[in-house]
Amino acid sequence: MSTVAAITEITSLSAALSSTAKRLPPGLSFLAPRCVLLSAAILLHDTYSCPAGHDGRLRSQEETAQQIHSVEALTNASKDVAALAEELLLFILSMEKDGSGGGDSVSDVSPLILDSLYGAANTLAWLVREEGLAQYEDGANSIKRCLERLGVRWGLAGEYGRMLEQQDFAYMMQNKGLLTLRAF
């Protein structure tokens, strides 16, 4: 791609993002870039949140401190995504209620947010299994509802929702002793 073509592409993307940002409420104006950053944070901290290293050895004190920090950061990022999902759902519902075109409001949402929704829902589901706190379950359910609503426009949102449901089912079966899950 030539420099001129790249600049034209960037300018076009910037204009599209600016146009979309103007149609969204202030809290959601930079939703896609925020979600891309949150998704990266979830992936990064997920790697360091496991109790044992990838090689099976016990962690050093520094690694244990990093693990504690990563679990906290992973939890916070996931709760932030759940709050964004709830805000996005309220926006979509208000657009539908006002007759402002709920379908258009979903079209204004970038598919770049989907990975953060999936990663956060997975993390919150893990925290529910580990700690059993209702706040994590509420957050995971908000994200699932958001994925379901976005699935009207973005097929990937529906796929992420189905994957989360399959994981929930697998863990339920495991808890009943009917299935053994293995980590790869």
Does residue 16 lie in a domain region? no
In the prediction, which pLDDT does 26 show? Answer: 66
Residue predicted with more confidence, 169 or 148: 148
pTM assigned to the model:
0.78
E strands, 29-160, where? none
Write down the pLDDT at residue 94.
Answer: 84
Q: Is residue 38 part of a domain?
A: no
Reported as a single tens digit per residue, the pLDDT across 104-162 is 667 778 899 999 999 999 999 999 988 888 889 999 999 999 999 999 989 999 999 99
Determine the Cα–Cα distance for residues 118 and 103; give it in Å rounded to an integer: 22
Helix or strand or coil: residue 133?
A: coil
Q: How far apart are the C-alpha atoms of 83 and 135, rounded to whole Å?
A: 11
Residue with tokens 């989360």: 164
Structural domains of the chain, count: 1
Range of the domain at 158: 72-184
Domain assignment present for 4: no
Q: Is residue 60 part of a domain?
A: no
Whether 43 maps to a domain, the answer reads no
| Residue 182 included in any domain | yes
For residue 36, being part of any structural domain is answered with: no
Which pLDDT tens digit goes with each residue over 37-50? Answer: 999 999 988 988 88
Beta carbons within 10 angstroms of residue 8's beta carbon:
12
Instruction: Report pLDDT digits (tens) over 63-110.
Output: 888 889 889 999 999 999 999 999 999 988 887 787 755 446 677 788
184: confidence class by pLDDT, cuts 50, 70, 90: very low
- For residue 33, being part of any structural domain is answered with no
Token reading at 27: 């809290």
d(C-alpha 70, C-alpha 44), whole Å: 8
